[in-house]
Structure 1
């Protein structure tokens, strides 16, 4: 089976915390982008020997895929159907910004086979949303959920971010409780990423005050809020199955599980990445560099990198340990030497041959995984 990822780089506004390859582009470029995306799907399938391959998950990420023109979106779907065999139970996800899902748009999505929506709610407080440049208001998320269910789309996810400017323990509690009150079967809870690739992250690192950076909670409060959310979601029957992802039984994201289990996927669109036949490759992260080759009938991707055994082994642990189920430890792998110390420090749990991050290990996952994958010198 093959997963298919479709990247859409268009936004109504660029959120200050966002470090993805998305921007505000003129609406005039949307239709051509859809045409080139459809072309890439067909060219990529031919180049990689994937024509007629069985696809069991499709994921439209953004940006905001729900900004695409209806005929352009349908055209990409038609290209997918011409090129691949869709599994009868194909999980078909579209990311959406609250406020972009009117009845007409939802009817289009349902007619195109979309059966899962991921809504970027981020918060249920208007002050927090305004501070990071979100255009929707808190009630828009609930309205979109109601409309989606009326259309027959009930597999729904809500994103929340711990660490937004002006967030407090009380405002976070309300956001989590309101998200749970919707009854959606899946929730993603992220801690604010601070890096130079976003405007807010850059300002925080510089110690400045633009983008409400001086109102970002401190690390301890962000961690406390994340831990509180984990406890509340678990108590409500929404079980954690990955560092940032929680689901009711049967509603885990199959597409994302494929990433963590290193299953093959083809990524099409701006800055999309692929993993096919133990090779990784990616597309350019600027619109011009992506579009120009496709206009000439060529794929825009970088040369593929075949993974060495050592690189594949590292990926197995680095990706697999994100899942609460963990991975099977291979005793002859060099990484096995790091396990006893991590277990002793309470960051890893070992049960037979299985190893998994503890709750504390998930909180410190970046540091733990870096330590775990650090080269081990064997005497």
Structure 2
């Protein structure tokens, strides 16, 4: 992993309501807990350098991306952001062109908060739209309408925030191909610069997913489209966004030229980032290849006074609080994270970093994946095809099993 300016992620888990599809460590926690949470968050930021040193990791002062995720970070008060940014500037040297992103639910960003965020340098907003179709949004607990979403986009644009992104989900209850096309078309028409397209996750980590798996009827579980339909609509979305000038650059992410997410790209390129707050993840360079660590996903544990309480075991070896990434794992990560991006991976770069034998270990699986139509190998450039992106987990598992053999 090459040395680079670090990305800063700040988790704010507070929501007005918990969406039925959400499997994140966020909830409708009491607003009275925000003050203590911000205090704990700032303390964690100020202790970051010592924490990294204790892990044998390198934490550079230079930072060029800040990402407030959640939850709904816009629910914080203006003075909370003043204190958080003050803590960040104490510990990090922020680049003049730092990409500073705020996740926001439509209709949940007060004027005073927006004014303060602009003063602090926020220059990118990611709106959790999910659907512009009112019936679909209401079915999963969203508190906005499609018209309200369009109004929020216009309001942010008028305030001078040009870099606006939205999230859309394919496979929501009551969704049809016609309604999906409507959501994508309205996103393009509003001139947003970035769109993230996700297919609904059906697992036991969300209320809706659990209900679907158990054959229940709550949360619109009986109205969830099939996986095949959602996959087909994902392809429709790729085509419509491309025609509208919002080009795919990663499996789930599309952007106008020059508006790709700098912060999220760090994840896929294995550049350093550090997370603060509930359930935040980090990866920093270390003596070997990297060290990964994760904060607790329980709010009470995170808020405890024990300085080590935020650490949560990453069950790689079932006992280590901090997971050290060695050569083989770093190679696997470089391969499957790089393949998530449309640009793919350069096998020459992997050879230089990890050696010829490591790359050669996956070449038979690469050829099999190419024969199956999952990848394209153009010289030393390996990329997923559209079919490969649709079956990316299968492709990655084939390659990783081979490299681990």
TM-score by structure 1 length? 0.96
Which of 332, 346, 351 is the aligned partner of 2:357? Answer: 332
Which of 4, 7, 13 is the aligned partner of 1:3? Answer: 7
Change (3 A) 1:52 1:364: closer
Which of 278, 282, 294 is the aligned partner of 1:282? Answer: 294
Question: What CA distance in whole angstroms lies between the structure 2 residues aligned with 1:218 and 1:100?
Answer: 32
Question: What CA distance in whole angstroms lies between the structure 2 residues aligned with 1:52 and 1:362?
Answer: 34
Question: What CA distance in whole angstroms lies between the structure 1 residues aligned with 2:389 and 2:61?
Answer: 36
Q: Is the 8 A contact 2:7 2:65 kept in 1?
A: yes
Q: Is the 8 A contact 2:102 2:122 kept in 1?
A: yes
Which of 26, 31, 35 is the aligned partner of 2:30? Answer: 26
Determine helix, strand or coil for the equivalent of 1:146. helix
Q: Is the 8 A contact 2:268 2:340 kept in 1?
A: yes
2:316 aligned residue: none
Change (3 A) 1:308 1:239: same
1:320 aligned residue: 338
Q: Deviations over 1:149-194 (max 9, x none)?
A: 2221111101100000000011111111001000011111111111
Determine helix, strand or coil for the equivalent of 2:340. coil
2:209 aligned residue: 201
Change (3 A) 1:87 1:376: closer
Question: What CA distance in whole angstroms lies between the structure 2 residues aligned with 1:305 and 1:298?
Answer: 15
Question: What CA distance in whole angstroms lies between the structure 1 residues aligned with 2:79 and 2:189?
Answer: 35
Question: What CA distance in whole angstroms lies between the structure 2 residues aligned with 1:81 and 1:244?
Answer: 32
1:370 aligned residue: 397
Q: Deviations over 1:1-42 (max 9, x none)?
A: 100000111111111111111111111001110111011001
Q: Is the 8 A contact 1:101 1:144 kept in 2?
A: no
Aligned residue-pair number = 376
Question: What CA distance in whole angstroms lies between the structure 1 residues aligned with 2:362 and 2:45?
Answer: 38
Determine helix, strand or coil for the equivalent of 2:357. coil
Determine helix, strand or coil for the equivalent of 1:10. coil
Question: What CA distance in whole angstroms lies between the structure 2 residues aligned with 1:127 and 1:180?
Answer: 20
TM-score by structure 2 length? 0.90
1:173 aligned residue: 181
Change (3 A) 1:85 1:347: same
Determine helix, strand or coil for the equivalent of 2:402. coil
2:88 aligned residue: 80
Question: What CA distance in whole angstroms lies between the structure 2 residues aligned with 1:262 and 1:359?
Answer: 23
1:351 aligned residue: 378
Query: Structure 1: 5+ residue runs without aligned partners?
Result: none
1:148-297 alignment runs, 5 A limit: 148-277=156-285, 278-292=290-304, 295-297=305-307
Determine helix, strand or coil for the equivalent of 1:312. helix
Q: Is the 8 A contact 1:314 1:373 kept in 2?
A: yes
Determine helix, strand or coil for the equivalent of 2:311. coil
Change (3 A) 1:327 1:51: closer
1:336, CA displacement in angstroms? Answer: 2.4
Change (3 A) 1:377 1:241: closer
Q: Is the 8 A contact 2:365 2:402 kept in 1?
A: no
Q: Deviations over 1:329-352 (max 9, x none)?
A: 245322222100000110001111
Determine helix, strand or coil for the equivalent of 1:48. helix
Change (3 A) 1:258 1:52: closer
Q: Is the 8 A contact 2:296 2:309 kept in 1?
A: no
RMSD: 1.5
Q: Which stretch of the first structure deviates more once superposed, 12-21 or 136-145?
A: 136-145
Query: Structure 2: 5+ residue runs without aligned partners?
Result: 313-320
2:323 aligned residue: 305
Q: Is the 8 A contact 2:15 2:28 kept in 1?
A: yes
2:18 aligned residue: 14
